[in-house]
Amino acid sequence: ILRCLVGSEMCIRDRSKTYGEALFDAAVEDGCVDKLLEDAVFVMEAFRDNEDLGKLLNNPKIAREEKAKVVSGIFKDNVSDDMQGLLQLMVVKQRHNDITGALEYFTDRVREYKNIGRAYVTTAQPLSEEQKKAVTDKLLATTKYVEFEMNYNVDKSIIGGIIIRIGDRVFDSSIKSQLDNLTKQLKKIQLGD
């Protein structure tokens, strides 16, 4: 699966994106998107939950090959050979600090490929399950996505209303935002006198 990476030295600033894109392209071509997505989530959680793994990979006294063996041992029974290959390659090429970034990029590409949106919803009060369903239904009806991963946050400072962020788009109908806009308009009126 990593044929497009092997043998090529990357000089691009964002190596995470390069590795993630190569993994995505190969996964689509080989028809193993779902399995590699599952693997990617597993590996990212393992790196997040185990700080010692990062410390080991950053230890200059440990040879690359030894680091690769450790990574192989940790993930051998838990991820596919394709994911193992990516991890081995990145460790041997001393790109271990780019692993989680590459996998995050890959998972974002898979979500886009499958038309799965990720929405971040902020309200002043917790939403009921019925309200959450109404928000999800509205987003499905007004966007290209067929499914959403919903993330809810409560922030009392917005006073009321709702803020929804999907990617780089933000819909802000919070009372705080409306009050801020009203204040700006009043200042313009006062300055114009």
d(CA 43, CA 53): 11
* pTM: predicted TM-score of the whole model, two decimal places: 0.75
Return phi, psi of residue 152, to 5°. Answer: -110, 145
Provide the pLDDT for residue 13.
43
pLDDT in tens, the chain (193 residues): 444 454 444 444 478 899 999 999 999 999 999 999 999 999 999 999 999 998 999 999 999 999 999 999 999 999 999 999 999 999 999 999 999 999 999 999 999 999 999 999 999 999 999 999 999 999 999 999 999 999 999 999 999 999 999 988 999 999 999 999 999 998 888 776 5
Q: What is the DSSP code (8-state) at residue 9?
A: -
- The b-or-e profile of 90-100 (16+ CB within 10 A means b, else e) is bbebebbebbb
Return phi, psi of residue 159, to 5°. Answer: 70, -50
d(CA 136, CA 129): 10
Provide the pLDDT for residue 6.
46
Residue 131 near residue 104 (C-beta atoms within 8 A): no
